[in-house]
Chains A and B, each alone.
Chain A
């Protein structure tokens, strides 16, 4: 089974910018749009929330300060202008021929 890698933890200052990445161990090791990258935000006691789908597309509820991209062979989630309420666990999800695999999650601290 594929292994999807994320930074275990990151810290960003309020108003600052941070990029979370999502890598793949399978095949070439390069994440492409074919992996249909997703990014989810998960806060304690709440249901996860879909932020980004298919690499860079946002839902109507996704704050404009979040953006998705492919960067250096990985999927990336960039937060520009971090707010205290952005403190959460962030998970990426990649698709592999019908199967879907999560990364281990990145705990983002806004401090």
Chain B
């Protein structure tokens, strides 16, 4: 059974950093790209970024709203995808979801809440 579990969310002050983890199980993690999405309170879904699998270069893509502040990495030996968030702003407050992203975006995690507030 495919499972994705996000962790690392919490309360953080503006300007600080936070790292989210997405721990995967039930599939060969290294064969898949992984994406991050988010939903701010009362708002719609937003794509954050994507990391390709190593066979496809392990390269990344980001939304304009986070480019230069957020970075996605992966540790295939641990089946974990990371979202490194720097220079956090209040508008980054959201539930963050990871998804499996091979040829298609299919499985979603349950999400982790990040609150950026002083």
Task: Check A102 against B45 for contact (C-beta < 8 Å).
Answer: yes
Q: What's the dominant secondary structure at chain A's contact region?
A: strand
With a cutoff of 8 Å between Cβ atoms, the chain B residues found around residue A53 in the complex are 104-106
Given A48-B97, A53-B104: A100 and B47 interface contact (C-beta under 8 Å): yes
Among listed A20-28, A63-71, A79-87, A91-99, interface-contacting one? A91-99
Task: Check B61 against A98 for contact (C-beta < 8 Å).
Answer: yes
Query: How many A residues, CB 8 Å from partner?
Result: 23
Given A42-B45, A48-B97, A105-B45: A99 and B61 interface contact (C-beta under 8 Å): yes
Q: What's the dominant secondary structure at chain B's contact region?
A: strand
Task: Check B44 against A104 for contact (C-beta < 8 Å).
Answer: yes
Given A91-B45, A102-B45: A47 and B105 interface contact (C-beta under 8 Å): no
With a cutoff of 8 Å between Cβ atoms, the chain B residues found around residue A93 in the complex are 45, 47, 105
B: which residues have CB within 8 A of A? 37, 44-47, 50, 61, 63-64, 97, 104-111
